[in-house]
């Protein structure tokens, strides 16, 4: 038996486009004499469809895709994910299902049992969990169909769940497992995923075929990495990250096993590829073409400019250099050099006149008040207005350049430098930004060395440095990581050896600035806990404030 894994980039709600991709893959698989082709979880409609699932028409369109795929499943079986109707009176209206299509009809449907409701997942909001588990027989083989999370309660040891779907199928003696998934990317998730798949194959002592999505759905990025696992737990193949592809496997050869084949997992390479993928799909799936951003001469905007040029092409990226009275000459020179290195269009628009006009308008109202955050933020908001003017006039999408460290502690100006349609590096800590800059310069100097080595500064007052307002980033970031990603309490952090005064100061900054994060652009997710839909905090919470 020959099995094809189709690792594809789906588009939420684009039934016609998703169907066309799958039909083309079926034709390719049939031409290679494949017996079965497998697509991803909820492939007909894209993942996650969220409240689109509440529209009857949306479900009808998914059903229509299943009918057309079934019609194409002649001489080849098709395994595909799609929502399905719950015929019972009780429970949710829908199941998250894996369809087995053969000879023009639906031969079998297996529903998902383990419905994640944590981080970015909210499946129990929409779906009823499966209570029945049956293998499907095809060409003399018994196949255990499963969907994503159903593999993640091995031996019923996950405290989130009370059932292990594959355990329930073992009495039916399946010959192999097909798992269709939509498993999002985080730079440290691949090893955990590999461990779970290997453990499943070893437990049941049968081959496991796992197919994942690739591509981005706004902030959620899918890395692919589909896998074939031998009965002894050896990973016989791991498909490329961030690439669509179809590969074919002989079942008898998988039973025999072989040498392990894994993709490289360099952290900065993965983050880089994920961000480029996120940018490409955000623009491509929304029908946008051109981006704009403010280029300050600092490292954050430099990183975003390089990523945007790589994702969209330098001709589709425009940058504005907007020096204020407090901008250093070298910042303007550094920004210009970077723009020239990239070959993208740049404009220099000094904001001193606009800033002085604001100062004159406010002079009588601010009389006797010292220069403070108000004057600093006016500069940021002038820049934001100019960027949005270009965006509106020329149809460019504004990219936000704030990093995760700044976003965490509120070191950004609402309606100023926090503007934008997409936050590109909002899930990358400042210390990681420097690592990413070195990665981008690995072959040649794209980002001028001075941008990387100079002390970070917003340049909104004379001789300003980030360290005037914040701890040094190598002190700040470890605290943020432990609090945001690892959910450590103040006492936990103090017990780890962090200074108590610093811990309480940092955590207070994180919590009192939640209101800013509610008003900022969606953040491309590259960690297990990005700001946005996967981290739901109250704005007015008292905890640690």
Determine which helix (DSSP H) or strand (DSSP E) holds 354, and give its type and residue range: helix 352-362
Q: Which residues carry out catalysis?
A: 41, 112, 148
| Prior bond of 70 cis (ω within 30°) | no
Determine which helix (DSSP H) or strand (DSSP E) holds 170, and give its type and residue range: none
CA dist 337 → 118, 182, 400, 404, 530 (Å): 44, 41, 21, 26, 32
238 vs 224: CA distance, rounded Å: 9
Are 268 and 307 within 8 A, CB to CB?
Answer: no
65 vs 62: CA distance, rounded Å: 5
Q: Residue 332: helix, strand or coil by DSSP?
A: helix
Count Cβ atoms within 10 A of the Cβ of residue 347 and give its class: 0-12 exposed, 13-18 middle, 19 or more buried. Answer: middle
Buried b (16+ CB within 10 A) or exposed e, 424-451: bbbbbbbbbbbebbebbeeeeebbbeeb
Calculate the CA dihedral of residues 267, 216, 228, 44 and round it to 10 degrees.
Answer: 170
Angle between helices 500-512 and 473-484 (to 10 degrees): 60
Buried b (16+ CB within 10 A) or exposed e, 17-41: ebbebbbebbeebbeeebbbbbbbb
Backbone dihedral angles phi then psi of residue 127, each to the nearest 5 degrees = -115, 150
Nearest to 176 by CA among 255, 122, 265: 255
DSSP state of 315: G
Nearest to 194 by CA among 267, 248, 143, 262: 262
Q: How many CA atoms lie within 13 A of 181 on its CB side?
A: 27
Nearest to 303 by CA among 459, 424, 407, 405: 424
Are 180 and 172 within 8 A, CB to CB?
Answer: no
Backbone dihedral angles phi then psi of residue 496, each to the nearest 5 degrees = -75, -10
Maximum Cα interatomic distance, the chain, rounded to a whole number of Å: 88
73 vs 102: CA distance, rounded Å: 5
């Amino acid at each position: 038996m020959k099995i094809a894994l189709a690792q594809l980039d789906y588009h939420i709600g684009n039934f016609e486009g998703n169907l066309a991709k799958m039909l083309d893959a079926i034709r390719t698989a049939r031409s290679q004499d494949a017996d079965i082709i497998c697509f991803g979880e909820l492939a007909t409609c894209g993942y996650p469809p969220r409240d689109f699932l509440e529209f009857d028409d949306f479900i009808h369109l998914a059903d229509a895709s299943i009918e057309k795929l079934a019609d194409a499943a002649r001489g080849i079986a098709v395994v595909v994910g799609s929502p399905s109707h719950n015929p019972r009176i009780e429970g949710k209206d829908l199941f998250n299902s894996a369809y087995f299509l053969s000879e023009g009809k639906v031969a079998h449907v297996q529903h998902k049992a383990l419905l994640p409701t944590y981080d970015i997942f909210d499946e129990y909001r929409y779906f009823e969990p499966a209570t029945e588990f049956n293998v499907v027989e095809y060409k003399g083989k018994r196949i255990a169909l499963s969907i994503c999370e159903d593999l993640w309660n091995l031996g019923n040891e996950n405290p989130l769940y009370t059932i292990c779907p594959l355990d329930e199928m073992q009495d039916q003696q399946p010959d192999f497992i097909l798992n269709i998934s939509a498993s999002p990317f985080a730079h440290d998730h691949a090893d955990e995923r590999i461990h779970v798949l290997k453990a499943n194959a070893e437990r049941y002592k049968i081959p496991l075929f796992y197919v994942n999505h690739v591509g981005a759905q706004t902030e959620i990025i899918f890395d692919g990495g589909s896998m074939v696992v031998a009965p002894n737990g050896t990973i016989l193949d791991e498909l490329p990250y961030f690439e669509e592809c179809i590969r074919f496997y002989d079942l008898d050869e998988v039973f025999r096993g072989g040498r392990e084949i894994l993709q490289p997992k360099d952290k900065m390479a993965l983050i880089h590829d994920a961000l480029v993928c996120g940018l490409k799909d955000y623009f491509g799936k929304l029908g946008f073409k051109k981006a704009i951003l403010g280029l300050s001469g600092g490292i954050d905007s430099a990183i975003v400019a390089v990523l945007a040029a790589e994702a969209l092409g330098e001709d589709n990226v425009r940058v504005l250099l907007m020096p204020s009275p407090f901008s250093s000459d070298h910042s303007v020179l550094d920004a210009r050099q970077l723009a020239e290195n990239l070959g993208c269009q740049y404009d220099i628009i000094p904001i001193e006149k606009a800033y002085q006009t604001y100062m004159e308008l406010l002079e009588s109202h601010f009389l006797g008040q010292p220069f403070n955050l108000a004057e600093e933020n006016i500069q940021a908001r002038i820049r934001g207005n100019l960027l949005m003017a270009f965006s509106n006039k020329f149809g460019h999408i504004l990219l936000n350049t704030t990093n995760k460290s700044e976003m965490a502690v509120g070191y950004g100006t609402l309606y100023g430098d926090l503007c934008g349609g997409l936050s590109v590096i909002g899930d990358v800590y400042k210390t990681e930004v420097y690592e990413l800059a070195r990665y981008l310069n690995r072959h040649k100097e794209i980002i001028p060395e001075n941008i990387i080595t100079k002390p970070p500064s917003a340049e909104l007052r004379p001789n300003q440095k980030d360290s005037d307002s914040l701890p040094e980033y190598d002190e700040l970031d470890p605290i943020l990581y432990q609090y945001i990603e690892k959910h450590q309490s103040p006492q936990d952090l103090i017990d780890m050896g962090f200074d108590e005064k610093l811990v309480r100061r940092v955590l207070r900054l994180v919590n009192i600035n939640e209101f800013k994060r509610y008003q900022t652009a969606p953040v491309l997710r590259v960690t297990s806990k990005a700001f946005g839909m996967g981290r739901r905090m109250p704005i007015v919470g008292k905890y640690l404030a």
